[in-house]
Amino acid sequence: MSQHESFEANITKHERACETLHEKFTEQFNAESDKAFNQTLKAISNVLKIEHTILSNKMESAFEDLERTSQEMRTGFYDIARQALQDKEPGTAALREEYEAKIKGKDEEIKTLRESVHDPSVTDRDKDDMIATIKELNQALRDQLQERKVLYDLREEERHLFAVNETRQVEELLRNKDAEFRKELREAHKKTRAQAREIAQLSQKVKEDAVMIKHQSEAIEKLSADRIMLENELKSKISEIAELKQQRGV
């Protein structure tokens, strides 16, 4: 083989080596770039999904707890008030009906006696007896009214005591509900603090992922710069080879 042929063969071999190196480096660069980019997107997506899921579940649970507590308090107060009215109403109504019936009966008796007084067939003696009877009825009526008043006062006192006791029960219930509500608020506060810690951890993870993304971006930029440098070197080598060919041809 002549010196010219050997030179041409070396140049051809060098060109093929440069092209092979260029293709291999380009393929490696593209693969690493795609891999780094996909990893970055996947990491960001996972962090955002986890954070969104945790926050959504925690907030929904907290609102459900508060709504359930509020509903239980309203239902409890309503039941107590309704029961109190039901307990009071039958006794009051029965006493009122009994009293009205007695008054009506006495009114009928008085009406009958009054009509008898004006009856011409009735003698003076009968009238005196009727007057005495009326007085007795009036006295009996006053006595019954007094008894009813005493009974009514006793009933009122009983209702008053019942109302006082009921008020105490309601106050006790309110204190218990308030204590339960405060306890639930403390638990909700603890949950909120736990959520805050979880969010802080997630934020730290996001920061770490951001640092990783930055490093990967820097690595990609470095690979890109290396690629450009290699391309420039290849162009320079190709130019040198072309000049050598031209000089050799001359």
**pLDDT at residue 201 greater than cutoff 60:** yes
**Residue 156 to residue 150: CA distance in whole angstroms:** 10
Distances (CA, A) of 250 to 8, 177, 236, 237, 238: 14, 106, 21, 20, 18
Yes or no: say if 95 and 155 are a contact pair by the CB < 8 Å rule. yes
Amino acid identity for residue 61 in this structure: S
Q: Could you report the per-residue pLDDT of 113-155, keeping only the tens digit for each?
A: 555 555 555 445 555 565 666 667 666 666 766 776 677 677 7
Concatenated DSSP letters for 147-161?
A: HHHHHHHHHHHHHHH
Using a pLDDT cut of 70, give the percent of the chain over it.
45
Amino acid identity for residue 145 in this structure: L
In the block, tokens 């980019």 appear at: 37
In the block, tokens 């009514």 appear at: 152
Closest by CA position to 159, among listed 80, 88, 96, 86: 88
Over range 64-70, report the average pLDDT.
56
- The average confidence (pLDDT) of the chain is 67
pLDDT band per the 50, 70, 90 thresholds, residue 157: confident
Which residue segment(s) compose the domain that 100 sits in?
A: 3-249
pTM score, whole prediction: 0.33
pLDDT band per the 50, 70, 90 thresholds, residue 33: low
**Residue 65 to residue 59: CA distance in whole angstroms:** 10
| Range from 84-88, 214-218, 231-235 carrying the lowest mean pLDDT | 84-88
What's the token pair of residue 52? 């969104």
**pLDDT at residue 250 greater than cutoff 50:** no
Q: How many domains does the chain have?
A: 1
